[in-house]
Amino acid sequence: MAPALRHLHVDRLAEGGQRYGGHAYQDALATARAEAVPIVYPRAGMEWRTDDGVSLHFLGPSLPFIANSRNDINENSVAFTLRYRSFCMFFTGDAGAAAEERFLAEGADLHCGVLKVGHHGSAYSSTPAFIASVRPRYAIISVGRHNLFGHPAPSTLETLRRFGAQIYRTDKNGAVTVVSDGHREAISTIEPD
């Protein structure tokens, strides 16, 4: 995150509000401050709109924060849908099952054609009820090659396949790019070395 903050024009950094001691997180916050990038704390129910018709609808985190879950930091991730005309992509952050349950309970329209799968496709994300509600045509899993956690979990891959999602994985497909004109989307990849 810190290199992006240093080399790209960033209007603001959205942060969940739960403090974390990880180096990359601390480096991103320090870089945002050094680059005078405002740090903002969106909450479920907020919406940001651009002049060209793009909107972000925030679904998480909600207050009160999820507590006593497998990983409270992940469950309280910034999560949102990006909508442009009829195109929708759901960004789950690192959210898992507890956050997914909350998204479902709050009754928001979760249907999106593209899903950035939560928590790297772990066994603790992408519950059948959540995937049935989102109904993605495409599922993108950001995951490191040969990661120590065994992500993505076979059960998560099976759930995504059962609901008809075409799966893209950064460990197998490399970088994944989604482009849309607001009606159709095109997905391309850059194969890893």
User: What is the residue-wise DSSP string for 14-82?
Assistant: E--S-----HHHHHHHHHHHHTTPPEE---TT-EEE-TTSEEEEEEE--SSPP-SSS-HHHHT--EEEE
Alpha-carbon distance 165 to 138, whole Å? Answer: 5
- Residue 125's alpha-carbon distances to 62, 91, 115, 158, in angstroms, are 18, 13, 12, 12
Q: Which of 106, 123, 120, 111 is nearest to 159 (CA)?
A: 123
| Phi–psi pair at 139, nearest 5 degrees | -125, 125
Summarize pLDDT for 54-91 with one digit per residue, the tens: 999 999 999 999 998 888 888 999 999 999 999 999 99
DSSP E strands, 68-191:
79-84, 87-91, 114-116, 138-141, 166-169, 175-180, 185-190
- Over 80: is that where the pLDDT of 126 sits? yes
Domains in the chain, please, with CATH?
1-41 (no CATH), 43-190 (3.60.15.10)
Residues 168-187: what's their mean pLDDT?
96
Summarize pLDDT for 104-117 with one digit per residue, the tens: 999 889 999 999 99
Alpha-carbon distance 16 to 42, whole Å? Answer: 7
Instruction: Give the type of residue at 85.
Output: R
